[in-house]
């Protein structure tokens, strides 16, 4: 990049974003194709994973790298949505460009007469501020209060207690994997993920903590075996250590496992001392002493009923000899990641005493109990298969991924890991009020001044919403709607969205105070979420949405339903604003959202095309008719909300950039020019 400064305008931002959209757009949606990459090393990569595609590109433009970074951060939270992130971002930038190109718009007021670039910069900064206020004051209330009427749930109360519904979980996972890996193996991988979820679940109400632990430790909870069919993928009880036994001694029943971090055989000298040998006899006596000490150590381990010895270092042959005599299996060179995994699952301490302390204590402590320890053959390699007892949160299991080639196996692994990121986001309560309180006081004050100023409605909707099951108000690509006039989903064609109704400052203050008081009460994350979920009274239904959070387990039908519903309610809410800036921002976001279902339905024709589906959904919202749709899949509301929030934050950052500065770095200094202080 040249040293001269380069001004950044909307045209440049849009060109960079559209170049990324052209890459990921070809594999967008369940019917999208694959992208082939030829790396500099000659390796061929075929994938449809948005994160892998963007991170595989060699990008020179700093704006492109910034967009990829924002999309990757979003993926780290939700495990999906990278391609949708780029599509939605481009749609918003096109809308912003149309606003800026207009000579008369609400954001040009109070801007001093100056150069075209400075006016452009002032306009974008005002738009950035309006986007932040829109997210806090309009978007979040609309999602909670208006969209909340249509939320379904992955929880069921058919047995009297709130439990996860397996059918809904399976439907959600199938749709997720269909978008990540295509239509070929998505059902098999979804079933594998569902089985893994329930096999790792230690108790019925601990799903949130368990999913978080799997997300954190997943790199050590799976094994890749290329060269085999995908159908050979399976779940193994316990964990698999990616190495073979240094010594294997078969045993029955439970086994005590001890973890050591130093060689059990003494050495003649260490780095901080010297060992002076005056005669050959003295050397022989020293060697005999070290041998006897090693024998004593292994005998001490046998007396404490240790059957498996895990070592982070390579143990000498003399240790293997005495371990075999005492029927102790030995696994050496265990990686630090696997040691950390074992400590997290079993409670082993990484602060180990010396060998002398081990001999001085008659009974060893800090050992784990293994239900089994045996070799397992996966493909052409042999690994250590270690069975561990379940904890209060996690029942240890390992996933074996098979695939004909390494690239396909890695794609399945990435999608599987992303699925548990998505479940982690789905099964937790998104407390939006707490997110707003974390912002600065100044931003909160500005946001409150720009809140909706709608006419007061005397008749407020009852908190008890009409009960809906998973078959109610569902939409999917290629499904023809069937009209049913027995129930209603709105209060009439002239209903004003509840998020735009004026509320007294006292009521608002009471709600904020209640949120702050509740946040100070100490209780476990799982118990807090279970109490919030207990508000549901019907299977598959989220009743009485909270005024400050999206309920854990909230889902909506796939096929752009979230975007179409949010577009409708934002359009209705924009009509109630008195500030032209918020009207334009609400319209901008509402129109940009429709770009997602347009791309999903672009290959459909007739009654399954986007105009037909959109008009059917909107008409059902404007009338008292309820449409019933065939259930084809569900998607997380929290992930969708996080996607929109991430895109808004990215747009806010992009439009505040005034110019790009290129800095040329000189050649690295030669070694002889380095100073002594740098070594």
- 3-state secondary structure labels for all residues of 415-450: HHHHHHHHHHHHCCCEEHHHHHHCCCHHHHHHHHHC
Distance CA 556, CA 67 (A): 27
Predicted pLDDT of residue 126: 81
Q: For 618-673, write each residue's pLDDT tens digit.
A: 888 888 665 555 557 889 999 999 999 999 999 988 888 877 777 666 555 555 44
Residues contacting residue 529 through CB under 8 Å, at least 6 positions apart: 208, 427, 428, 429, 552
- The answer to whether 651 touches 497, Cβ cutoff 8 Å, is no
Q: For 259-287, write each residue's pLDDT tens digit.
A: 888 888 887 766 666 767 778 888 888 88
Tokens 């548990």 label which residue? 420
Give the residue ranges of DSSP H helices in 261-348: 280-303, 317-325, 336-346
Nearest to 50 by CA among 31, 29, 19, 64: 29
- The answer to whether 221 touches 197, Cβ cutoff 8 Å, is no
Q: Which residues pair with 484 in a beta bridge?
A: 626
Per-residue tokens: 441: 């006081």
Is the model's pLDDT at 15 over the cut of 60? yes
Q: For 27-36, write each residue's pLDDT tens digit.
A: 888 778 888 8
Distance CA 297, CA 499 (A): 71
Q: Which residues pair with 541 in a beta bridge?
A: 152
Per-residue tokens: 270: 């260490």
Predicted pLDDT of residue 116: 61
Is the model's pLDDT at 397 over the cut of 90? yes
Q: For 540-550, write each residue's pLDDT tens digit.
A: 444 443 455 77
Distance CA 59, CA 122 (A): 29
Predicted pLDDT of residue 83: 92
- The answer to whether 190 touches 171, Cβ cutoff 8 Å, is no
- Homologous superfamily of 239-269+278-395: GroEL (3.50.7.10)
Q: What is the largest CA-CA distance in the chain?
A: 104
Q: What is the mean pLDDT of the chain?
A: 76
- pLDDT band of 47, cuts 50, 70, 90: confident
- What pTM value is reported for the model? 0.77
- C-alpha distance from residue 320 to each of 295, 324, 607 (Å): 11, 6, 72
DSSP class of residue 352 equals -
Residues contacting residue 129 through CB under 8 Å, at least 6 positions apart: 446
In terms of pLDDT, which residue wins out, 578 or 229? 229
Q: Is 330 left (phi over 0), alpha (psi -120 to 50) or beta?
A: beta
Torsion of the alpha carbons at 277, 280, 283 and 284, rounded to the nearest 10: -170
Give the pairing type, strands 329-331 and 306-311: parallel
Give the pairing type, strands 482-484 and 626-628: antiparallel
Domain boundaries of the chain, sorted by first residue: 6-153+428-516+534-660, 165-236, 239-269+278-395
Q: In what order do the strands lie in the sheet with 222-226?
A: 222-226, 397-403, 234-237
**How confident is the model over 145-161, as a mean pLDDT?**
80
Distance CA 657, CA 255 (A): 61
Burial (0-12, 13-18, 19+ Cβ within 10 Å), 518: middle
Distance CA 484, CA 481 (A): 10
Is the model's pLDDT at 515 over the cut of 50? no
Distance CA 437, CA 547 (A): 14
Nearest to 142 by CA among 478, 561, 432, 442: 432
- pLDDT band of 525, cuts 50, 70, 90: very low
Predicted pLDDT of residue 464: 34
- The answer to whether 47 touches 386, Cβ cutoff 8 Å, is no
Predicted pLDDT of residue 468: 39
- pLDDT band of 526, cuts 50, 70, 90: very low
pLDDT above 70: percentage of residues in the chain: 71
Distance CA 174, CA 415 (A): 11
In terms of pLDDT, which residue wins out, 524 or 570? 570
Is the model's pLDDT at 70 over the cut of 90? yes
- The answer to whether 258 touches 332, Cβ cutoff 8 Å, is no
Predicted pLDDT of residue 2: 46
**Range with lowest mean pLDDT among 228-237, 308-317, 482-491:** 482-491
Predicted pLDDT of residue 472: 35
Distance CA 647, CA 633 (A): 24
Apex 505 CA angle, 500 and 507, nearest 5: 85
Distance CA 55, CA 44 (A): 15
**Range with lowest mean pLDDT among 434-438, 488-492, 561-565, 596-600:** 488-492
In terms of pLDDT, which residue wins out, 534 or 577? 577
Predicted pLDDT of residue 594: 92
Q: How many CB atoms lie within 10 A of CB 319?
A: 23
Q: For 599-630, write each residue's pLDDT tens digit.
A: 888 888 887 888 888 888 888 888 866 555 55
Distance CA 470, CA 167 (A): 10
- The answer to whether 91 touches 643, Cβ cutoff 8 Å, is no
Per-residue tokens: 231: 């159908």
Distance CA 386, CA 447 (A): 55
Correct CATH for 6-153+428-516+534-660 of 1.10.560.10, 3.40.50.620, 2.30.110.10, 2.60.40.4070: 1.10.560.10
Q: For 181-218, write each residue's pLDDT tens digit.
A: 888 889 999 999 999 999 998 777 678 888 999 999 99
Q: Is 46 left (phi over 0), alpha (psi -120 to 50) or beta?
A: beta
- C-alpha distance from residue 463 to each of 150, 353, 460, 495 (Å): 14, 61, 9, 16
Predicted pLDDT of residue 103: 60
pLDDT above 90: percentage of residues in the chain: 27
Q: For 458-512, write each residue's pLDDT tens digit.
A: 333 333 333 333 333 333 323 333 333 333 333 333 444 555 554 434 444 443 4
- The answer to whether 323 touches 331, Cβ cutoff 8 Å, is no
Is the model's pLDDT at 442 over the cut of 60? no
Predicted pLDDT of residue 488: 35
Give the pairing type, strands 222-226 and 397-403: parallel
Is the model's pLDDT at 403 over the cut of 70? yes
| Cβ-defined contacts of 116-122 (< 8 Å, 24+) | 117/7, 117/9, 120/9, 120/10, 121/658
Distance CA 550, CA 528 (A): 14
Per-residue tokens: 531: 């109490």
Predicted pLDDT of residue 158: 65
Q: Which residues pair with 201 in a beta bridge?
A: 394
Distance CA 563, CA 483 (A): 21
């Amino acid at each position: 990049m040249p040293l001269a400064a380069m001004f950044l305008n909307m045209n440049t931002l849009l060109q960079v974003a559209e170049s990324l959209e052209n890459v990921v757009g070809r594999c967008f949606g369940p019917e999208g194709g694959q992208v082939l990459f030829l790396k500099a090393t000659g390796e061929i990569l075929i994938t449809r994973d948005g994160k892998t595609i963007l991170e595989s590109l060699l990008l020179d433009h700093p704006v492109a790298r910034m967009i990829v970074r924002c999309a990757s951060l979003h993926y780290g939270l939700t495990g999906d949505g990278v391609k949708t992130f780029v599509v939605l971002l481009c749609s918003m930038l096109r809308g912003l460009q149309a606003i800026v190109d207009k000579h008369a718009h609400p954001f040009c007021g109070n801007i001093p007469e100056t150069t075209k670039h400075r006016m452009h910069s002032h306009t974008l900064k005002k738009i950035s501020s309006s986007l932040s206020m829109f997210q806090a004051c309009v978007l979040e209330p609309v999602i909670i209060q208006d969209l909340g009427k249509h939320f379904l749930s992955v929880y069921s109360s058919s047995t009297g207690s709130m439990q996860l519904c397996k059918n809904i979980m399976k439907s959600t996972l199938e749709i997720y994997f269909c978008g990540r890996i295509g239509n070929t193996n998505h059902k098999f991988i979804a079933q594998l993920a569902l089985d893994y979820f329930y096999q790792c679940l230690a108790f019925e109400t601990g799903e949130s903590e368990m999913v978080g632990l799997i997300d954190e430790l997943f790199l050590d909870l799976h094994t890749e075996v290329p060269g085999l069919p995908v159908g050979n993928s399976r779940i193994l009880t316990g964990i698999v250590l990616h190495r073979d036994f240094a010594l294997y001694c078969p045993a029955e029943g439970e086994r005590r496992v001890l973890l050591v971090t130093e060689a059990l055989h003494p050495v003649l000298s260490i780095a901080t001392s010297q060992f002076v040998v005056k005669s050959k006899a003295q050397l022989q006596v020293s060697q005999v002493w070290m041998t006897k000490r090693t024998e004593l150590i292994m005998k001490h381990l046998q007396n404490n009923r240790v059957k498996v010895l895990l070592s982070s270092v390579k143990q000498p042959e003399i240790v293997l000899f005495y371990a075999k005599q005492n029927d102790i299996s030995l696994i050496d060179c265990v990686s630090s990641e696997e040691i950390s995994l074992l400590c997290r699952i079993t409670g082993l301490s990484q602060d180990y005493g010396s060998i002398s302390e081990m001999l001085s204590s008659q009974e060893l402590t800090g050992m784990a109990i293994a239900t089994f320890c045996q070799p397992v053959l996966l493909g052409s390699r042999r690994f250590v298969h270690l069975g561990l007892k379940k904890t209060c949160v996690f029942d240890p299991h390992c996933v074996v991924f098979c695939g004909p080639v390494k690239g396909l196996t890695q794609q399945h692994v990435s999608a599987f890991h992303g699925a548990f990121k998505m479940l982690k986001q789905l099964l937790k309560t998104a407390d939006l009020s707490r997110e707003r309180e974390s912002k600065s006081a100044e931003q909160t004050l500005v946001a409150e001044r720009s809140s909706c100023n709608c006419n007061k409605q005397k008749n407020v909707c009852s908190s008890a919403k009409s009960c809906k099951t998973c078959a109610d108000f569902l939409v999917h690509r290629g499904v023809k709607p069937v009209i049913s006039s027995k129930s209603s989903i709105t209060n009439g064609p002239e209903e004003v969205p509840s998020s735009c109704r004026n509320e007294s400052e006292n009521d608002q203050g009471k709600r904020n105070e209640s949120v702050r008081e509740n946040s100070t009460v100490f209780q476990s994350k799982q118990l807090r979420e279970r109490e919030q979920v207990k508000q549901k009274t019907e299977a598959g239904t989220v009743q009485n949405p909270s005024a400050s959070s999206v309920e854990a387990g909230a889902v909506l039908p796939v096929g752009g339903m979230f975007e179409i519903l949010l577009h409708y309610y934002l359009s209705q809410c924009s009509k109630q604003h008195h500030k032209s800036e918020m009207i334009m921002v609400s319209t901008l976001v509402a129109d940009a959202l429709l770009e997602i279902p347009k791309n999903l339905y672009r290959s459909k024709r007739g009654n399954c095309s986007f105009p037909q589906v959109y008009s059917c959904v909107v008409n059902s919202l404007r009338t008292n008719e309820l449409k019933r749709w065939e259930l084809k899949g569900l998607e997380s509301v929290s992930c969708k909300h996080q996607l929109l929030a991430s895109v808004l934050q990215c747009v806010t950052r992009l439009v505040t950039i005034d110019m790009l500065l290129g800095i040329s770095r000189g050649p690295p200094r030669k070694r002889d020019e380095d100073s002594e202080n740098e070594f």
